Structure formats: C-alpha cells, structure tokens
C-alpha cells in the first residue's frame, strides 16, 4: 500500500502540478506560434497564402492607354484615356486608397479625339501628355498635347480639371505612337511620328520651342511602334522598335548606336530598360514572347519567356525590384514573371538539408485572369512596388498586388521564416518531452 504523504510532500506535489500546467500552457502557445510560422513555409510549393483580391473597376468607355502618376502624398494614382468614335472621350484620374481598398475616379473631357497613348511626367505629378487621333474631312489626323492637372474648388469640394499647355506639330504625319518624357528632365521628351524619331524641347511654360527629327531611313520596315529612354548614362540614349527590329540612338550625336535585328519574328510591340542594371533591355512581340538583350552584344538573346498564347502588348520592369516584370496580352491575361538570373539583385541561395534553394526562380510568378478582353496596358504603381494596374479594351481597370510569397522571396526573408518555424517547432517538441518525463516522475512519486 502506498504510504501517506506528509504536508511537505503535498506542497511539493501541488507546486509540481502547477508547474506542469504552466509548462503545458507555454508549450501550447509555442505550438500554435510555430504552426503559424511553419504554415508560411508553404511558399516553398508556390502556394499563395495571401487572401488579398484584385480590385476591379469599370470605365465608362473603351480604353487602351494607362499610365502611373508620381504622387507627392505616397498614394497610388493612375490615369487612363478612353478611345471612342461615338461618344466624347475622357481622361480618368484614379486614386487608390490602400487602407479602404477603394478607387476614386475623376473624369475630365478630352475634346481632341480618341486617345491612343497617355504618358505622365516622372518629375511632376501635374503634367501628362496624350497622343490622339481626330476626324477631319473624313480623314484621321494624329495629334499630341501636353496637359496640366489643376485643383478646382467647388461647393461640393475639390475637383480636378485639366488645362491644355501646348501641342506638338504633327502636320504631314499619318500616325503618332507615343510621347515619352525624359526621366531626368521635365523639359525634354521624344515622340514617334511614322518612321521619325522627334526630340522635343520645352520651355518653362511647357511650350514646344524646338524639335529635332531623326529619320530611320527604313521604309521597308515601316513606322516606329514603341520607344523608351535609357535611364542610365544620364539618359543620353533611347531605344525604338520598328517592325521586328530594335535600334538604339544617341541623342547627343543623333546617330544609331546598336541594332537588334529580328528581335521578334512577327514584330516588336513594346520594350523596356532594366531600371537598375545598365545595358539590359526587355522586348515584347507578336510571337507571344518576352526576350532579354544585352545592348552591347545584340546577336544572341540572353533569355526568352513564353507565358502568353497571343500577342504581347506591353512589358514593364518593376522600378525597385528588377527581377519582377509585368506583361499583358490579347489573350486577356496579365502575367507577373521573374527574371532573377538577369537582375541586379543577385540570386541568393541557402544550403538547407543538403539542397540548394533559390529565393525566386525564373519563370511565372502568377497569372491574373481578371480580364475578359485584350489587355493593352499594365503599369506599376509609382509609390508602391507591390501594386500595379492593368487595363483591357472594354474599359475594365484591375488593381492587383504581387503575391505575398513572391514578396517574401524577393525580400529574401524566406530562409529566416523557415528557420524560425523550425526553431519553434523543435523547441515545442523538447518542452513536450520534458513535460512528459516530469509527469511520469510525479506519478512514480505518488
């Protein structure tokens, strides 16, 4: 028969039981916390644990032009232009509220005609330009105007209106592809008119004071379709697309510096420079591909991605994390891709369990299927590197985010999350073992 316990043994037993209870509670909290952290390691299987959904917004008319606005108050602002021959066209100024996940819109009349391209000034949030076509005497005439956004006080509150500042002389031309500001200067830009590259100088009032025309002298290829400033080397060069080729031009000598022939078999639709790594250029074409080039060695492409099933209308580098790219296509899809092997942020690896794990591999990160028609534009937010907008021809504007698992990998905290989850998991196992042994010892004592 078990002997009676004295008062001292009873007090020891009570304190042991209380200690055991505390140990169980602490272990339970550790298990819950470790499970939460461990669940984040599901990103190894590319499972999106993010519950954030895209915000869908409809414009009143059809549209195919979109641009991001540089905001002074760190808000994501986008501006879009409609394209209609039956109804008066509009310029839509849209501000995204991150906290409320809402989009507010201000519509302004664009009397000149249907908008084919819209661009914003990188250095001033109140300036933008529209490239349009108007009908006169049964003829389509191209045009380009520079506008200024103005705040107007009304009884109901402050509203936004736009004021025309100047207009580019487009007489004698049949089509204008784009008007692009110099990233480092408010008073310098270029426009693509037919097969001509036209550099434009502006005065302090944003009036056009001088133009310098550079003819590509390649009538067989046709008109220029897209162009970008090279953000490196003091923005002294531009790249333009014509037919299935891409050529680079020095704005100081007005001479051609390189040419990428047969960049895309069916033609080049868009291009963009890597914002952080010099000489690296991405092109999108009608062959469903996105290709990467070194402008110093143009004979061989560095990488090609084929994530679309139809024409690729636009490709855009992330302004901060240049391994991330957006592309949109006439297959109604927006694709977020990764090209870590060609980014300025070198691909970091960690050795875990004898296997090498990469931060984010080249390929598709996520496919967004929120559109039903051809997606003509996709733009990163000017202030939030994880937010972007896309616009389809039916006027549907979709604001989306980079998946959380991709953000973790880009920020290179994936390894820390996995290590932390494993640490808490093993700690909980050790505490469970200790508590189990301690309980067995109490049973033996009694």
Tell me what pLDDT residue 414 has. 43
Tell me what pLDDT residue 45 has. 37
Per-residue pLDDT for 241 more than 50? yes
Residue 113, judged by CB atoms within 10 A of its CB (0-12, 13-18, 19+), counts as buried
Q: Hey, which residues does 310 pair with through a beta bridge? A: none
Per-residue pLDDT for 40 more than 50? no
| Higher pLDDT pick, 208 / 107 | 107
For domain 55-342+357-402, which architecture applies? 7 Propeller (2.130)
- Give the confidence band of 184 by pLDDT, cuts at 50, 70, 90: very high
Global pTM value: 0.78
Q: Hey, which residues does 153 pair with through a beta bridge? A: 158
Task: Calculate what percentage of the chain has a pLDDT beyond 70.
Answer: 76
Give mean pLDDT, residues 297-308: 94
Give mean pLDDT, residues 230-254: 93
Per-residue pLDDT for 313 more than 80? yes
- Give the confidence band of 282 by pLDDT, cuts at 50, 70, 90: very high
Out of 85-99, 228-242, 320-334, 356-370, least confident range:
356-370
Give mean pLDDT, residues 42-57: 58
Tell me what pLDDT residue 433 has. 73
Write the DSSP symbol of residue 232. Answer: S
Per-residue pLDDT for 43 more than 70? no
- Give the confidence band of 316 by pLDDT, cuts at 50, 70, 90: very high
Return the CA Rg of the chain. Answer: 29
Write the DSSP symbol of residue 324. Answer: E
Task: Calculate what percentage of the chain has a pLDDT beyond 90.
Answer: 60
Give mean pLDDT, residues 246-267: 93
Tell me what pLDDT residue 80 has. 97
Tell me what pLDDT residue 368 has. 96
Tell me what pLDDT residue 104 has. 92
- Give the confidence band of 257 by pLDDT, cuts at 50, 70, 90: very high
Give mean pLDDT, residues 123-134: 94
Of 150, 151, 149, 109, the closest CA to residue 132 belongs to 109
Per-residue buried b or exposed e for 159-170, using 16+ beta carbons within 10 Å of the residue's own CB: eeebeebbebeb
Tell me what pLDDT residue 10 has. 43
Q: Hey, CA dihedral for 23, 25, 27, 30, is it positive or negative?
A: negative
Tell me what pLDDT residue 206 has. 77
Whole-angstrom distance, CA of residue 270 vs CA of residue 281: 11
Tell me what pLDDT residue 345 has. 76
Tell me what pLDDT residue 63 has. 96
What does the pLDDT look like over 81-106, one tens digit per residue?
Answer: 999 988 999 999 999 998 888 999 99
Tell me what pLDDT residue 213 has. 75
| Higher pLDDT pick, 48 / 198 | 198
What does the pLDDT look like over 136-165, one tens digit per residue?
Answer: 877 889 999 999 999 876 666 678 899 999
Whole-angstrom distance, CA of residue 406 vs CA of residue 123: 30
Per-residue pLDDT for 220 more than 50? no
Whole-angstrom distance, CA of residue 179 vs CA of residue 192: 7
Tell me what pLDDT residue 211 has. 74
- Give the confidence band of 21 by pLDDT, cuts at 50, 70, 90: low
What does the pLDDT look like over 408-435, one tens digit per residue?
Answer: 888 875 455 456 666 666 777 777 777 6
- Give the confidence band of 73 by pLDDT, cuts at 50, 70, 90: confident
Per-residue buried b or exposed e for 79-103, using 16+ beta carbons within 10 Å of the residue's own CB: bbbbbbeeeebbbbbbbbeeeeeeb
Give mean pLDDT, residues 192-209: 86
| Higher pLDDT pick, 152 / 323 | 323
Give mean pLDDT, residues 12-19: 55
């Amino acid at each position: 028969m078990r002997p009676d316990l004295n008062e001292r043994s009873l007090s020891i037993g009570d304190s042991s039981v209380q200690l055991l209870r505390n140990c169980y509670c602490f272990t339970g909290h550790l298990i819950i916390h470790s499970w939460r952290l461990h669940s984040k390691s599901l990103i190894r299987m590319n499972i999106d644990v993010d519950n954030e959904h895209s915000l869908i917004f409809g414009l009143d008319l059809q549209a195919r032009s979109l641009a991001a606005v540089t905001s002074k108050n760190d808000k994501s602002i986008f501006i879009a232009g409609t394209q209609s021959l039956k109804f008066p066209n509009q310029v839509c100024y849209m501000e995204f509220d991150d906290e409320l996940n809402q989009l507010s819109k201000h519509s302004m009349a664009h009397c000149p005609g249907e908008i084919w391209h819209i661009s914003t000034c990188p250095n001033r949030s109140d300036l933008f330009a529209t490239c349009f076509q108007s009908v006169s005497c049964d003829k389509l005439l191209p045009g380009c105007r520079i506008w200024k956004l103005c705040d107007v006080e009304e009884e109901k509150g402050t509203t936004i209106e736009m004021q025309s500042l100047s207009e580019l002389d487009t007489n004698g031309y049949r089509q204008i592809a784009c008007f692009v500001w110099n990233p480092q200067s408010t008073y310098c830009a270029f426009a693509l008119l037919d097969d001509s590259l036209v550099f434009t100088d502006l005065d302090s009032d944003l009036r056009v004071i001088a133009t310098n025309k550079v003819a590509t002298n390649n009538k067989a290829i046709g008109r220029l379709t897209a162009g970008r400033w090279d953000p490196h080397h003091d923005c002294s060069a531009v790249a333009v697309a014509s037919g299935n080729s891409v050529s680079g031009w020095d704005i100081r000598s007005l001479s051609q510096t390189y040419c990428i022939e047969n960049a895309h078999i069916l033609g080049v639709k868009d291009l963009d420079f890597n914002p952080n790594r010099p000489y690296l250029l991405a092109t999108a074409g009608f062959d469903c591909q996105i290709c990467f080039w070194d402008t110093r060695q143009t004979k061989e492409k560095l990488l090609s991605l084929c994530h679309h099933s139809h024409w690729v209308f636009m490709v855009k580098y992330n302004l901060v994390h240049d391994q991330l790219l957006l592309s949109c296509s006439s297959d109604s899809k927006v694709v977020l891709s990764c090209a870590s092997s060609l980014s300025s942020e070198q691909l970091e690896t960690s050795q875990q369990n004898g296997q090498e794990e990469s931060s984010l591999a080249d390929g598709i990160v996520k496919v967004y299927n929120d559109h039903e028609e051809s997606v003509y534009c996709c733009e990163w937010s000017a202030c939030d590197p994880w937010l972007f907008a896309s616009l389809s021809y039916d006027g549907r504007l979709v604001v989306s985010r980079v998946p959380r698992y991709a953000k973790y990998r880009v920020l290179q905290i994936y390894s820390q999350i996995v290590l932390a989850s494993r640490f808490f998991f093993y700690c909980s196992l050790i505490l469970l073992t200790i508590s189990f042994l301690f309980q067995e010892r109490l049973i033996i004592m009694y």
